[in-house]
Structure 1
């Protein structure tokens, strides 16, 4: 929380301009492409990372497909995971997020103008609708991010169980699955400190549809979970 307050203070003179920009994108999305809207957010979050006393090490970006839709499946450590993704990736992508995130400040407005999709937990019909929409977008070439744990682990660099249903959108779309490891990202906003933080994000070689077509969703989830945890154990 202390670092988040520190970031806000460092943006204090830019906040009026940012509020105007957010309102502009929210009220007139038809005037701006999805690439422009997501690109604006990327620039803002990269600036926030630089001002937050964070040393983010990025690796494996060469493994991310250069074109077409695909699913990125990171472990989930905290709010900074989203900033890490925006720092690492130069392409537009969608994030499937839990509805509770909309309660964070102006998050709802930003999430809406980027056309990101909220999952309402315990609402199976709504969740399946989001999965179908995400699958369709990936078929059309838009990358997506889903956190297979469903919520942050709150166990440092240890993972919660990955849920097989998180991979259904990729399976239906027959697109590559890109495992992604977050290491020490929880230290950025979960610790009440302003000390410089070192954390990592790493992208693995994708699983193509040919690689996973004979696996069920639980087997895919277990494979991705073990791949990420083994990497964290070796690089923590």
Structure 2
């Protein structure tokens, strides 16, 4: 419980104490939007690294060199833990927005930082609004902002992490319409940090592996038609290797 309490204190304390930082970042953005984007990215990455350190997680990163350095990408990952966001965000080499559920938009201060970080809020119950979010994500990618999404749509609570939920194909329109590569991310044992023994946090051995980028325009017709399933299989292959 001590780790859990410490994480809560850090999160709540940072959100409150960061109000002046939000104002400073806003001013910076008025003069240099790129500088503001990068400074917000690095600030939150530092906070997330500190939180992960508190959890005691032993994190191994594989294949990060597969992330293209010269273009925005669509990161696609499996999702079993709240910590999946922290585990992947600290590894983002450049500005990256995450697609989050609409309900998070109403959380004071947290939603302010999320907007600063180009996060988008998806209304999963409203198809029309959901499509607007997808279109916004496409525009962000065309402007050089990478996007990360967990296309299972929610945290996967199945007993085995190999039992993935179906990937929502609509998420992949972000890459196909923006003409950007997809980078599959396989996250192993992230639920071991917290969800597996809620409400306690325990040190867990976690692996975050980045697969080779998938270029939609290089896939054959059938693969492109079911690109969500194709990407899911790539992630599943990496997870199976980790579980061997």
Give the TM-score normalised by structure 1: 0.88
> 1: CA distance between counterparts of 2:48 and 2:184?
22
Specify which of 210, 213, 224 is matched with residue 217 of structure 2. Answer: 210
Matched, 1:133 2:136: yes
Specify which of 149, 161, 169 is matched with residue 164 of structure 1. Answer: 169
> 1: CA distance between counterparts of 2:10 and 2:102?
28
Structure 1 segment 165-180 matched on structure 2, within 5 A: 165-180=170-185
Matched, 1:30 2:30: yes
User: Secondary structure of 1:115's partner?
Assistant: coil
Deviation, structure 1 residue 24: 4.3
Do the aligned partners of 1:179 and 1:203 also contact (CA within 8 Å) in 2? yes
Q: Is the alpha carbon distance of 1:42 and 1:11 closer, same or farther for their aligned partners in structure 2, counting shifts above 3 Å?
A: same
Deviation, structure 1 residue 150: 1.0
Specify which of 40, 64, 87 is matched with residue 90 of structure 2. Answer: 87
Q: Is the alpha carbon distance of 1:200 and 1:147 closer, same or farther for their aligned partners in structure 2, counting shifts above 3 Å?
A: same
> What residue number does 2:45 align with?
42
Structure 2, unmatched stretches of 5+, are: none
Cα deviation code 1:85-124 (max 9, x no counterpart): 1222232211111112346674222212223110011212
Q: Is the alpha carbon distance of 1:94 and 1:210 closer, same or farther for their aligned partners in structure 2, counting shifts above 3 Å?
A: same
Cα deviation code 1:181-232 (max 9, x no counterpart): 1111112231333431111111100111332363466511111111112221
Structure 1, unmatched stretches of 5+, are: none
> What residue number does 2:80 align with?
77
Q: Is the alpha carbon distance of 1:81 and 1:218 closer, same or farther for their aligned partners in structure 2, counting shifts above 3 Å?
A: farther
Structure scoring higher RCO (CA < 8 A, sep ≥ 6) equals: 1
Do the aligned partners of 2:28 and 2:36 also contact (CA within 8 Å) in 1? no
> What residue number does 1:18 align with?
18
